[in-house]
Amino acid sequence: MREEEKSIDKASQEILEIAKKEGIDTAWDRYEAMVPQCGFGELGLCCRNCLLGPCRIDPFEEGPQKGVCGATAEIIAARNLIRMIAGGASAHSDHGRDIAHTLLLTAQGKTKSYGVKDEEKLLSLARELGIRTNGRDKKEIAIEVAEKVFSEFGQQHGELQFSHRAPEKRQALWRKLGIVPRGIDREIVEVMHRTTMGVDNDCENLITHGMRTALGDGWGGSMIATELSDVLFGTPKPIRAKVNLGVLKEDEVNLVVHGHEPTLSDVIVTASQDPELIELARKNGAKGINLAGICCTANEILMRHGIPIAGNFLQQELAIATGAVDLMLVDVQCIMPALSSVAKCFHTKLVSTSPKAKFPGTEHIEFKEEEALPIAKKIVRMAVENFKNRVKEKVNIPGEKMDLVGGFTAESVFKFLGGKYRTTYRPLNDAIISGRLRGAAGIVGCNNPKIKHDWGHVEMAKELIKNDVLVVVTGCSAIANAKAGLLKPEAAFQYAGKGLREICEAVGVPPVLHVGSCVDNSRILITLCNVVAEGGLGDDISDLPVAGAAPEWMSEKAVSISFYFVASGVFTVLGNPFPVLGSREVTKLLTKRLEEIVGANFAFESDPIKAAHLMIEHIDRKREALKLKPVMYESKEKVAV
Amino acid sequence: MKTILYIDLDKCLGCKTCELQCAVEHSQSKYLFQAIKEEPLAQARVKVEASGDLAVPLQCRHCEDAPCVKICPTKALEKLGAGEPVVLKEDLCIGCKWCVLVCPFGVLNVNREGKAIIKCDLCLERLEKGEEPACVEACPTKALKLLSPEEVAKLKKKEFLVGFQKDGKIIKG
């Protein structure tokens, strides 16, 4: 694979060239060495759930068609898929649990490193959770909110509190199907039970429980993570920042945070601004301390502090390969084990911090919320002291960096659409009803060397906004689109269709809106609820002219996310198919029959332009069903495709 | 020409990836996700057989003096030349199965429709493009290799010498 075939991003191409020269292995090299990947695994036909096996089904029907226990392709593929959901839902939910823990410690006064930054949100959450707020101390309320939220994880019966935010009709459907999540952890455990040897053998029954588990993520763990992060660290507001490897600085200490949870990255922001440490940096010959981020922990501190982003998932190794990173700090999720070997080629110190995630050959400084700020300062100090070890000849910082506006939320952005003085969703709904906007779409998820880096995200976003579809992005998709310049308000002039351009111009927002990290996909759910509640676009999420996509997904978290969107009624296109194609029945269930069951289904399409048109066609069908006016500025190009 | 499909028995884990990729290579689309939906389904020309604790991928050995070529009454089987593969012209095959009977290794078989035989073609199309056979390329442990007789001879010599040194205890250092 040539460097320009690996990524559309110039900065990444540049560092990939250097990595090649220096003989540094990257994910792309390792992927090439792995091809062809195991076909049984790709098709979901390998079962390792008990020691009768491992078993695999021959998709060409010459070899075994049943595992030793008798499990068919249908059973094996469905079991494997919902175990992926369990993995993804666990990751988001454990993240949410950690944030709840931090809120509790903060309210109990056991840590001084955090505070309640959004009191209004704390109070409104308290009211929603049935906690008395009148005349009570803020700390008392926060303790009760944290405890109530904690109980949602281990709840054995009833319904998750935030599931009641969904439109009435959706809740009724979930109840009818028996998929309202009871407790976040409970549904995950039940996945493991159902998929262990000799339990659930009906692929539809398995997938149905998979949806329940995923809903426990979207309307549970992830939503808790988002809401409580807003309480602790502040609800984001539109903010300007910069993105791409070019944000690293030659004359400053570069500290890169990588991972997911804001509990650590947010205090690192504070620590990196400590005058004493900045002075120490100067003494060490640096002009200052430059903090940058990778993956979702980057999105968290971008949204709230405007901290620059160095790159997305596939750029984690490349950031180190610039030779300019003095310290990379990691917590949990999406951190490649390969980082320790790349770091060894440079002066970069790699520091792991979570008791849940250790890396052999890497310094481990355990993070504790109780001593968050002192620990953060210690790590920043390490970065500062490592600056002098930087080898000048090995430093290659690409010139690429791009401006962006981020920090949009369900509370802020859509209310802006009508201007500052009309804070309702009415203008957004009206824009869709009048046909100025065709609809809206969410592009989320990871990078994957199977698809040219960023190409899937960026081409899809361009095609959608060209067709007057407002796009919201999270996670690594947000970073990809930011690097391509689509998160600048000016992008509307260059790329958006006339209707969307008019709105962006009037309100001053970009045509692609950054709504946060991967747990912040819950912001999209809330936005959809608000649009339904505003009225005029049907009475369920599945009525809305909206669609979702994960064009470059790789993580189990993306499986869980896409499942909670589909189970909430949002048609979702995936770049790479789920590993289920070995089962015709499961494939048909996911790509066709789910629409009859939950009002939305999946589609698999690796070409981002074709995928965008699947979304547009879906949006048009929904517009037709709602008997909306034709799209105001239907482009001829769209018809031609 | 390299015509020996070399099998390192210590390395074969019996994963059957060679079988799967062989079928994909001989499908119409040559693309896994499409191939499993084709009619008729493609078939693998290699089969992993168990022999005690060992797993052994078996396919046509492309014999120099091939009994199957000799016995084929319609010249459907042809040796393309010394050191070259034995290939099948499927339209000439009458399905008499003599070749199946005379193959000393049992690696020939009738195809799914039962009307002609099916055998390894050493991925001639791929070889012409300078690529390795699909099974060789796919093998995750590199248990399968396509080597020339000279290369195999050299490997065997090395193996022999290592054993010789060990048993004769003349290893230095």
Cα–Cα dist B67/B54, whole Å: 27
- In tens, the pLDDT along A500-518 reads 999 999 888 999 999 999 9
- CATH class of the structural domain B61-119: alpha beta
Average pLDDT over residues A70-81: 98
The residues in A 239-278 lying below 8 A from B, measured between CB atoms, are: none
pLDDT of residue A636: 59
Q: How confident is the model at residue A412 (pLDDT cuts 50, 70, 90)?
A: confident
The residue among A181 and B163 whose pLDDT is bigger is A181
Type of residue numbered A46: C
Would you give the DSSP letter of residue B92?
A: G
Give the count of beta carbons closer than 10 Å to the beta carbon of residue A174. 22
B42 in contact with A at a CB cutoff of 8 Å? yes
Residue A621 main-chain phi, psi, to 5 deg: -65, -40
Element of type H or E holding A340:
helix A339-344
pLDDT of residue A640: 43
Cα–Cα dist A441/A544, whole Å: 11
- Of all residues in chain B, the one with the smallest CA distance to A578 is B33
pLDDT of residue A419: 56
pLDDT of residue A246: 98
Cβ distance A38 to B17 less than 8 Å, yes or no, reads yes
Type of residue numbered A519: V
pLDDT of A177 above 90:
yes
Q: In DSSP terms, which residues pair with B56 in a beta bridge?
A: B49
% pLDDT > 90, chain A: 94
Cβ distance B24 to A39 less than 8 Å, yes or no, reads yes
Cα–Cα dist A461/B80, whole Å: 54
Query: Is the Cβ–Cβ distance between A419 and A376 less than 8 Å?
Result: no
- Of all residues in chain B, the one with the smallest CA distance to A38 is B17
What is the DSSP secondary-structure string of A206-271?
Answer: HHHHHHHHHHHIIIIIHHHHHHHHHHHH-----EEEEESGGGS-TTSEEEEEESS-HHHHHHHHHH
Element of type H or E holding A77:
helix A73-107
Give the count of beta carbons closer than 10 Å to the beta carbon of residue A51. 8
Q: Which residue is it, tokens 């296109």?
A: A573
Q: How confident is the model at residue A422 (pLDDT cuts 50, 70, 90)?
A: low
Cβ distance B33 to A58 less than 8 Å, yes or no, reads no
A65 in contact with B at a CB cutoff of 8 Å? no
pLDDT of A486 above 70:
yes
pLDDT of A281 above 60:
yes
Would you give the DSSP letter of residue B57?
A: E
- Helical ranges in A364-469 per DSSP H: 372-386, 413-416, 426-434, 455-466
pLDDT of residue A603: 98
A393 in contact with B at a CB cutoff of 8 Å? no
Q: In DSSP terms, which residues pair with B6 in a beta bridge?
A: B145
The residue among B64 and A412 whose pLDDT is bigger is B64
Q: Which chain A residues touch B137 with a CB distance below 8 Å?
A: 36
B30 in contact with A at a CB cutoff of 8 Å? no
Q: Which chain A residues touch B20 with a CB distance below 8 Å?
A: 39-40, 58-60
pLDDT of residue B173: 39
Cβ distance A62 to B36 less than 8 Å, yes or no, reads no
Nearest CB to A59: which of B36, B112, B137?
Answer: B36
CA distance B17 to chain A (A): 6
Q: Which chain B residues touch A581 with a CB distance below 8 Å?
A: 33, 36
Q: Which chain A residues touch B15 with a CB distance below 8 Å?
A: 38, 40
Q: In DSSP terms, which residues pair with B51 in a beta bridge?
A: B54
Q: How confident is the model at residue A448 (pLDDT cuts 50, 70, 90)?
A: very high
Q: Is the backbone peptide bond immediately before B73 cis, with ω within 30 degrees of 0?
A: no
Interface residue of B25, B36, B139 to substitute, partner A, most A CBs within 10 Å: B36
B36 in contact with A at a CB cutoff of 8 Å? yes
Average pLDDT over residues A589-614: 98
Lowest mean pLDDT across A263-267, A323-327, A412-416, A550-554: A412-416
pLDDT of residue B52: 83
- In tens, the pLDDT along A326-336 reads 999 999 999 99
Q: Which chain A residues touch B140 with a CB distance below 8 Å?
A: 38
Cβ distance B21 to A58 less than 8 Å, yes or no, reads no
pLDDT of B15 above 60:
yes
Q: Which residue is it, tokens 């604790």?
A: B53
Dig out the tokens for A601 from the structure.
Answer: 């289904």
Q: Which residue is it, tokens 């003096």?
A: B65
A582 in contact with B at a CB cutoff of 8 Å? yes
For the structural domain made of B1-59+124-147, what CATH number should be given?
3.30.70.20
Cβ distance A38 to B21 less than 8 Å, yes or no, reads no
User: Where are the domains positioned within chain B?
Assistant: 1-59+124-147, 61-119
Q: Which residues of A390-427 are buried (b: 16+ CB within 10 A; e: fewer)?
A: beeeebbbbebbbebbbbbbbbebbbbbbeeeeeebbb
- Of all residues in chain A, the one with the smallest CA distance to B33 is A581
R_g (Cα) of chain A, nearest Å: 24
Q: Do domains B1-59+124-147 and B61-119 have the same CATH topology?
A: yes
Give the count of beta carbons closer than 10 Å to the beta carbon of residue B56. 15
Q: In DSSP terms, which residues pair with A473 in a beta bridge?
A: A443, A514
Sheet with strand A363-364: strands edge to edge: A363-364, A349-352, A327-330, A253-258, A289-294, A309-311, A239-243, A402-406
**Mean pLDDT over each residue of chain A, to the nearest integer:** 96
Q: How confident is the model at residue A1 (pLDDT cuts 50, 70, 90)?
A: confident
pLDDT of residue B169: 63
Dig out the tokens for B52 from the structure.
Answer: 């005690």
Interface residue of A34, A47, A55, A60 to substitute, partner B, most B CBs within 10 Å: A60
Complex ipTM > 0.90: no
CA distance A55 to chain B (A): 10
Question: The domain at A245-394 falls in which architecture?
Answer: 3-Layer(aba) Sandwich (3.40)
Q: Which chain B residues touch A38 with a CB distance below 8 Å?
A: 15, 17, 140
Q: In chain A, count H helices and then E strands.
A: 29, 16
Cβ distance A39 to B33 less than 8 Å, yes or no, reads no
- In tens, the pLDDT along A243-267 reads 999 999 999 999 999 999 999 999 9
Specify burial of residue A382 (Cβ count, 10 A radius: 0-12, 13-18, 19+): middle
pLDDT of A195 above 80:
yes
Q: Which chain B residues touch A59 with a CB distance below 8 Å?
A: 20, 36
pLDDT of A637 above 60:
no
Cβ distance A39 to B17 less than 8 Å, yes or no, reads yes
Q: Which residue, A307, A305, A309, A311, is CA-closest to A237?
A: A305
Dig out the tokens for A529 from the structure.
Answer: 């609820």
pLDDT of B168 above 70:
no
Collapsed DSSP state (helix, strand, coil) of residue B7? strand
Q: Cβ contacts of residue A300 below 8 Å, gap of 6+?
A: A229, A233, A260, A261, A262, A265, A266, A516, A517
pLDDT of residue A382: 98
pLDDT of residue B83: 87
Nearest CB to A39: which of B21, B112, B137?
Answer: B21
The residues in B 118-147 lying below 8 A from A, measured between CB atoms, are: 137-138, 140
What is the DSSP secondary-structure string of A4-23?
Answer: HHHBS-HHHHHHHHHHHHHT
Q: Which residue is it, tokens 């690192």?
A: A268
Q: How confident is the model at residue A641 (pLDDT cuts 50, 70, 90)?
A: very low
Query: Is the Cβ–Cβ distance between A382 and A231 less than 8 Å?
Result: no
pLDDT of A75 above 70:
yes
- CA of residue A269 relative to chain centroid, distance: 21
Cα–Cα dist A253/A290, whole Å: 6
pLDDT of A414 above 90:
no
% pLDDT > 70, chain B: 95
Type of residue numbered A368: K
- Kindly report the pTM of this predicted structure: 0.93
Question: Could you say which of 3.40.50.2030, 3.50.50.60, 3.40.50.2300, 2.40.10.10 is the CATH number of the domain covering A409-640?
Answer: 3.40.50.2030
B22 in contact with A at a CB cutoff of 8 Å? no
Q: Where in chain A is the domain with CATH 1.20.1270.30?
A: 73-233
pLDDT of residue A418: 58
Nearest CB to A36: which of B21, B36, B44?
Answer: B21
Lowest mean pLDDT across A114-123, A534-543, B15-24, B157-166: B157-166
pLDDT of residue A200: 98
Query: Is the Cβ–Cβ distance between A317 and A339 less than 8 Å?
Result: yes
Query: Is the Cβ–Cβ distance between A350 and A339 less than 8 Å?
Result: yes
Question: The domain at A73-233 falls in which architecture?
Answer: Up-down Bundle (1.20)
Cα–Cα dist A607/B142, whole Å: 33
Nearest CB to A61: which of B20, B41, B138?
Answer: B41
Residue B145 backbone zone (phi > 0: left; psi -120 to 50: alpha; other: beta): beta
